[in-house]
Amino acid sequence: SPRGQVSFRYAPAVMKPSLLQVVDPILQTIASMKGIEMNEYLMRTVARIFTFLKQHGAEAGLATLRPLSTILVAVSANPSNPMFNHNLFEAIASIVKVTVPSGPDAVEAVLLPSLGQILERNVADFLPYTFQILGLLLDASPSAKPLYQDLFARLLTAELWKAQANVPGLVRLLRAYFVKHAAFGELLRSHLQAILERFQFVLCNRKTEGAAFELLNAMYMHLPFELYGQHFKPLLTVLLSRLQSTKSPKLQRDFVVSCNLFMHRNASNAMPQAFNEIQPGLLTNLVVNVWAPVLKMTLRLDERKVCAMGVAKVMAVDEVRQNPQALTLCCVGLVHLLGLMPSATALADDDLSDDEAPPIKDGGAGLEYEVSFSKLRNTDIPGAASGLAPDIPDLHTAAKAVLKPGFAGAAAQLAQSTPDVQPLAMFLQ
């Protein structure tokens, strides 16, 4: 399209009748085991149809969930084809995503018995997906069903977290509990120590450390600080220990983004104070040696947003404001985050949307059945706030509003001796 937006060659509303008429024959072929048993290509077709139709497939979606739920229970007795399993859950997720906002109770009535059986029988191959679907259902559920209350303690069983493929789903489901903390506050408070123990466990594994930061970021975004405040300093100590033992740039990036997210979302001085209690001058040390290099990395748009807003708050902390080196590095970092360099290369934008996610090469042939493979695309309800910074629609406007009152003069002064700060000084004029 002229504005560079993705547009489909065919309109979902126009294609709806043609596409929906093939869904029932496909499901009947799969259920009767005609032709190729557990044919992943047929199941992927169903997933693609509903992903493409979006809201236009909502009306037919609930009726389609019933045979899919029957197939799910049947296949769970012998889940021998990982690609078929993945596409089966992707099809379910694509339908749930569009049907659950308008009729959560009806969707739960169809799916919860089947998902409950999988949990009860502990079908290992299906658990990673089941947790993700439950997270999607809980997001849309108007009330906290007994199943969610009863399930919570089991989610924190150490054995579940040892299976790497479970981790994305467990994190996704815990995020749904965090979002509904008003309903689950006491449950969360009484299990917070266990949640942080699981966080530490996945943080210390290179393959799951990314999921550990997803869990931490969900906590920062959705839980009130008073719910986890007493655990905050030990939590930072665990992060710093991991940071010290692993010099991975990705870990450093995730750490800095997460810290800035906390600074942005939390009005208190809790993080600088906690760092100072762990070791005096630690915040300045981190800004100079860890923060500054990360701020020059290629980051997603939502990461740049929270980093810019977080750095603005870090600069206001006395020990950073009074340290010329740290303050200058923060200003240079903001130049990169805000894309103010005239010759700056294109900055990374948001992740691909669910529908634009690249297909699995060769249908997934040769892939290990592990963490990255078990993560479903359609696990957020339409219109849900996505990314780390749904509250910042425009980065430049938000950054200028926060920075100009307190730092325009300081940036202009620093720019006289440090040319790299000049773009920021001009931006704040």
* Residue 200 neighbours by CB under 8 Å, 6+ apart: 212, 238
Per-residue pLDDT at 5: 54
Per-residue pLDDT at 246: 87
Confidence of residue 122 (pLDDT cuts 50, 70, 90): very high
Strands (E), 262-393: none
Q: What gap in Å lies between CA 83 and CA 44, rounded to an integer?
A: 9
pLDDT exceeds 60 at position 364: no
Confidence of residue 195 (pLDDT cuts 50, 70, 90): very high
Per-residue pLDDT at 266: 92
Predicted confidence (pLDDT) per residue in 18-71, tens digit: 999 999 999 999 998 777 788 999 999 999 999 999 999 999 999 999 999 999
Question: What percent of the chain is predicted at pLDDT more than 90?
Answer: 77
Q: Are 235 and 243 in contact (CB under 8 A)?
A: no
Provide the H-helix boundaries in 22-81. 23-31, 40-53, 58-76
Predicted confidence (pLDDT) per residue in 265-316, tens digit: 998 899 999 999 999 999 999 999 999 999 999 999 999 999 999 999 999 9
Confidence of residue 389 (pLDDT cuts 50, 70, 90): very high
Distance set, CA 266 to CA 193, 225, 260, 336 (Å): 21, 8, 10, 24
Per-residue pLDDT at 354: 39
**C-alpha 411 chain-centroid distance:** 34
Per-residue pLDDT at 345: 44
pLDDT exceeds 80 at position 360: no
Q: Measure the N-to-C terminal CA separation of the chain; round to a whole number of Å.
A: 36
Tally of residues, the chain: 429
Q: Are 220 and 265 in contact (CB under 8 A)?
A: yes
Phi, psi of 49 (to 5 degrees): -60, -50
Q: What gap in Å lies between CA 368 and CA 373, rounded to an integer?
A: 8
DSSP character at residue 123: -
Could you tell me which of 129, 140, 165, 135 has the C-alpha nearest to residue 152? Answer: 135
Could you tell me which of 426, 414, 359, 377 has the C-alpha nearest to residue 96? Answer: 377
291: left (phi over 0), alpha (psi -120 to 50) or beta: alpha
**Average pLDDT of the chain to the nearest whole number:** 89
pLDDT exceeds 70 at position 383: no
Dihedral of alpha carbons 281, 309, 172, 191, sign: positive
Long-range contacts of 198-206 (CB under 8 A, 24+ apart): 198/156, 198/158, 198/161, 198/170, 199/235, 199/238, 200/238, 201/158, 201/161, 202/161, 202/167, 203/238, 203/239, 203/242, 204/242, 205/164, 206/246, 206/248
DSSP character at residue 4: S
